[in-house]
């Protein structure tokens, strides 16, 4: 299998999803990509508490309005109805990151007094990949657990789709469980799949309640992209080192929860060979529900089933 390199440039960067975008790279199923990415806001230098860092230019206001994504990458043989497997092999953050409170226009911030008209407080983080720690300008230190906020593909509409809301084909999933050693499975909607990646996060809590994680560039990453024609899914699922994860997205949190549960019941019946009604009863005992994020217009919920939760004697 081959390894391909993709780096941020005018040719590889975009800030929307669309099936009309020509691939910047075509690879064989099972090949790996080594990607360097910008942070979500297209920064090419660190910000400070008082000043935003310079951003990548030139940018097309229509095409580049969202997260800075590298791609799209076509996978030979990928067809609608197949599943893309994204194996996360390596993630190394750059040495800096940021996050904010205030000045972000969404329901959570508005209700708590941190909406668009509020003062914005910016935390600047020094990242230490060798010790997996991040320290901000106030001296707070947290443990890093890097992941990509955005991994996904366009739908079949041909429209320019904003990057902020996650979709069944992936995108701004913002699930902190998608760390090294995890494989993300995404339903493919278009020929070639047209996978894109970006929005590096050094650390994030479930919910991403202010609207930002520790946003950072990825100095290096390695993803292996494979195809499955034996796994039919309608929403993303993931295989972690010790658990299965199913994800649901919807404008309504209750509906997002139902999607995640429905996918988990399908997974349990498939993995354990039991009836769906049995799976429902077991799920109520052993499956954990978590709010993935609540700030991107579309809410996210993920369900987690640990490998040691069910033992069949």
Q: Comparing C-alpha atoms, which of 71, 18, 61 is closest to residue 198?
A: 71
Predicted pLDDT at 108 = 80
pLDDT at 313 exceeding the cut of 70: no
- Flag whether the pTM goes above 0.85: yes
As a whole number of angstroms, the distance between CA 164 and CA 295 comes to: 9
Bridge partner residues of 16 (DSSP): 162
What band does 124 get if pLDDT is binned at 50, 70 and 90?
A: very high
98 to 45, 51, 79, 153, 214: CA distances (angstroms): 11, 12, 38, 26, 5
CATH superfamily of 3-92+146-228: Acetamidase/Formamidase-like domains (2.60.120.580)
Q: Where are the domains of the chain?
A: 3-92+146-228
Tens-place pLDDT, residues 230-249: 999 999 999 999 999 999 99
* Mean pLDDT across 187-201: 98
The b-or-e profile of 33-59 (16+ CB within 10 A means b, else e) is bebbbbbbbbbeebbeeeeebeebeeb
Q: Give 131's contacts (C-beta < 8 A, 6+ positions apart).
A: none
Residue among 38, 39, 13, 32 at smallest CA distance from 24: 13
Task: List 239's β-bridge partners, or say none.
Answer: 183, 244
Report the alpha-carbon distance of residue 234 to residue 39 in Å, rounded: 29
């Amino acid at each position: 299998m081959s390894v391909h390199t993709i780096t941020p440039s005018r040719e590889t960067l975009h800030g929307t999803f669309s099936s009309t975008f020509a691939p910047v790279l075509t690879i064989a199923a099972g090949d790996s990509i080594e990607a360097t990415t910008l942070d979500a806001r297209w920064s090419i230098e660190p910000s400070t508490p008082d000043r935003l860092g310079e951003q990548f230019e030139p940018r097309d206001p229509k095409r580049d309005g969202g997260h800075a994504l590298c791609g799209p990458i076509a996978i030979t043989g990928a067809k609608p109805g197949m599943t893309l497997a994204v194996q996360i092999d390596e993630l190394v953050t750059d040495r800096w990151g940021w996050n904010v409170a205030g000045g972000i226009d969404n329901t959570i911030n508005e209700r708590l007094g941190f909406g668009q008209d509020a003062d914005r407080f910016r935390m600047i983080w020094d990242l230490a990949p060798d010790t997996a720690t991040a320290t901000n300008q106030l001296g707070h230190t947290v443990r890093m657990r890097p992941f990509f906020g955005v991994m996904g593909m366009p739908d079949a509409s041909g429209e320019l789709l904003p990057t902020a809301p996650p979709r069944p084909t992936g995108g701004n999933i913002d699930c902190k469980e998608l760390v090294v050693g995890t494989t993300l499975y995404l339903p493919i909607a278009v020929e070639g799949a047209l996978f894109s990646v970006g929005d590096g996060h050094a650390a994030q809590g479930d919910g991403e309640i202010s609207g930002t994680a520790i946003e950072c560039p990825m100095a290096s990453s390695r993803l292996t992209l494979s195809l499955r024609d034996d796994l039919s899914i309608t929403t993303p699922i993931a295989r972690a080192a010790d658990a299965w994860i199913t994800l649901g997205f919807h404008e309504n949190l209750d509906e997002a929860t139902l999607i995640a549960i429905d996918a988990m019941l399908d997974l349990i019946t498939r993995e354990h060979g039991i009836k769906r009604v049995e799976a429902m009863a077991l799920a109520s005992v052993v499956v954990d529900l978590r709010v993935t994020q609540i700030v991107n217009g579309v809410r996210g919920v993920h369900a987690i089933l640990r490998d040691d939760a069910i033992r069949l004697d």
